[in-house]
Amino acid sequence: MKSAFLSFCVLLAAHSLATAQIGRLPLPVPFLPIRGATTVPGHGAGINMDLGSGLLGPELSRGNLIGIAVGMGWNDWFTLSLGNPHASDQTFGRARAYLQQLRLKVPFVRPNGGRLAMAVSVSRSWGDLRLSRRATASGVDLEVFQDDHVGSWDFAVPAEVLVGQHRKLGRTSVFIGPRVVLSSYDDRLQPTGPFGAVLPGAVAGVHLSTFMFEFFAETNLVYVPQHGYESGSYAGRVALMPSLGGTLRLGRPFRWGKKPTSDPRALPGYGGESGSPSSPPPRR
């Protein structure tokens, strides 16, 4: 009898702990590195690793994000990448709030012998999260704790300039520009409908390119407007959103001072790292 009572107490405590742990696992609006105004890589493929910031849930509280993405660049014309950033904090056992993110960057001002590059960077992020308790046999949801959807558009127009001389083994550049994020958060368990926000701000950073690696240190100043949700009202504020990024580049870097060309001699593996045509043979 005593052992049965102790077993019942253990089960009750476990159930109470599990119930206490059930809470909102917020989906993030990501502020990950935009990687300056140049294509990364200039031509070829790349693997991106990001540590960044995000605004979590309809409360728009600040959180940390981590993400891995694969990308490609074509002849200095554009970069396209697909990744799955997620909040690094664990608030529901081992569950995480994952997103999908598609990013496109197109330079529209190229150096062409100068030192300035400008680009348009656009990304689309989206994700869904449903937490429920299901019947073991039928698989039917007995109770739904959370059913959320988040989507965001991220627009930036960075300008990037070289710092110092352009050396063959590496180069350093800095960039700055406006950045605006449009977010929409939908808690399907609430009758109020989606919550949307416009998050204007600016981004600035440093870009180091060396050998087959690209490194980025960026920061964002973001204005979070006044908003309200079921848990309360939140005053407007300015948030600092830092981020770090690294890329393993499987291809050549962006050509500073070179015009994009369809000449096959300028593609990777021809004429050295810079991608420039080799010099003509000497006359006999």
Higher pLDDT, 131 or 241: 241
pLDDT higher at 91 or 27: 27
pLDDT over threshold 90, residue 124: yes
234 pLDDT band (50/70/90 cuts)? confident
What is the dihedral sign for C-alpha 109, 211, 242, 184?
positive
Is the per-residue pLDDT at 78 higher than 80? yes
**pTM of this prediction exceeds 0.95:** no
Mean pLDDT, residues 110-120: 82
Model confidence at 52, pLDDT cuts 50, 70, 90, reads: very high
Residue 180: predicted pLDDT: 98
> If you average pLDDT over residues 156-178, what whole number do you get?
88
Query: Over 90: is that where the pLDDT of 283 sits?
Result: no
Q: Domains in the chain, start-ordered, CATH in brackets?
A: 23-130+142-255 (2.40.128)
Predicted pLDDT at 183: 95
Would you state the pLDDT for residue 159?
97
| Average confidence (pLDDT) over 2-10 | 42
Nearest-5° Cα angle at 96, 11 to 191: 85
For residues 205 and 36, the answer to whether their CB atoms sit within 8 Å is: yes
Higher-scoring residue by pLDDT: 122, 282: 122
Contact 27, 97 (CB under 8 A): yes
Using alpha carbons, list the distances in angstroms from residue 185 to 151, 160, 197, 224, 261. Answer: 7, 33, 9, 15, 43
CA dihedral sign, ordered 162, 51, 85, 215: positive
**Contact status, residue 163 vs residue 138, Cβ threshold 8 Å:** no
pLDDT of 101 over the 70 cut? yes
* CB-neighbour burial class of residue 198 (10 A; exposed 0-12, middle 13-18, buried 19+): exposed
